[in-house]
Amino acid sequence: METLFSTNAVHPRDRFDYWHSVACRNLIAHDSKPECRYSFQAEMQSGSLAELGLVRFESSPMKVFHTRRHCDQMRTDELFVCRLMSGQLVLEQAGREVVMEAGDLTLLDPLLPYEGSFSTGAKLLVLKTPRRALEARVGKTADMIIRSMKPIEAEHSLASGFLAMLPDYAGKLGKAATETVKDQTLDLVAISLAKMQERPRPYLSSAKASALMNVRTAIEARLADPRLDAEIVAAAAGVSVRYANALLAQEGTSIARLIQSRRLDRCHRALKDPLQAHRTVTEIAAGWGFSDMTHFGRRFKTAYGVLPSEFRRLKKQK
């Protein structure tokens, strides 16, 4: 783990502002308020395990606020698996609240607003995982966020203990070992989430999970291609169209529907991005593979309740 920041080498008057800028760049954009700015202390370390990110930090008492404005600035689609190492942390998101103690786990969605309150001595480990990698194992996670997973139950204890060891091995394992440990990490998190949901079958087999992730990756990498269809996706993923659709059916979708929903999501994000305000609706839609603007407008309204042009106008008014 690489140390990104420590207040030890920073003048007291600059510590909190410096910390905030580093945390926004390396963890997540947010606003925060320390209990005492002048006596503020903090340290942050980061590492990785294949496509999984690891961030470990500790700080003086403070409150953090990840607002809708910050959500709109997100450029990655990740989920945060949070493990509290020490102290106490209160998190609120989606109308739910958890009070975390040492060893507890919870799932946080950076695409939704949240608030957090860190106590004295709070030390947190955050595992940043691509949403697709975790949802390939557990399905949609909307009902799983901000649920307490305490190590008094065996499944949670196993996942918690395994996550606690990861910082000691980040960047030290060979390529094959890293991939294996990455998969084991996600599988253990999936088991813990399934226990919390009390599902009898927490995740797909490794082979099916791998195939499903390949299908999703193939789609994401080719969304801008207007020729993208089920045959192209299946060929890129190394499976048949029938098998790919069978896997996706377990999540209530299909190749064609997933292509459309992912394209609509990309357009939705672009239309509310102020940095893309100079681009026309047609340009954005075409850039994400839509060749028929009437079809695009109709599908966008079905998904978001308004036409694309109206959506952009409303965003500008706000």
pLDDT per position as a tens digit, 96-142: 888 899 999 999 999 999 999 998 889 999 999 999 888 888 888 88
Give CATH superfamily name and number for 206-317.
Answer: Homeodomain-like (1.10.10.60)
Give 221-224's long-range contacts (Cβ < 8 A, gap of 24+). Answer: 223/259, 223/262, 223/263, 223/266, 223/288, 223/289, 224/287, 224/288, 224/289
DSSP secondary structure of 129-142: EEHHHHHHHH---T
Alpha-carbon distance of 105 to 147, in angstroms, equals 8
Sequence spans of domains, the chain: 2-197, 206-317
55-59, 61-65, 115-119, 220-224: lowest mean pLDDT where?
Answer: 220-224
- State in words which class domain 2-197 has: mainly beta
Phi, psi (deg, nearest 5) at residue 210: -65, -45
Q: Give the pLDDT score at 27.
A: 81
Residues in the chain: 318
Q: In the chain, how long is the greatest CA-to-CA distance?
A: 62
Q: Give the pLDDT score at 153.
A: 92
pLDDT per position as a tens digit, 159-198: 999 999 999 998 898 988 888 899 899 999 999 988 887 6
pLDDT per position as a tens digit, 282-296: 999 999 999 999 999
pLDDT above 80 (res 81): yes
Alpha-carbon distance of 144 to 109, in angstroms, equals 10
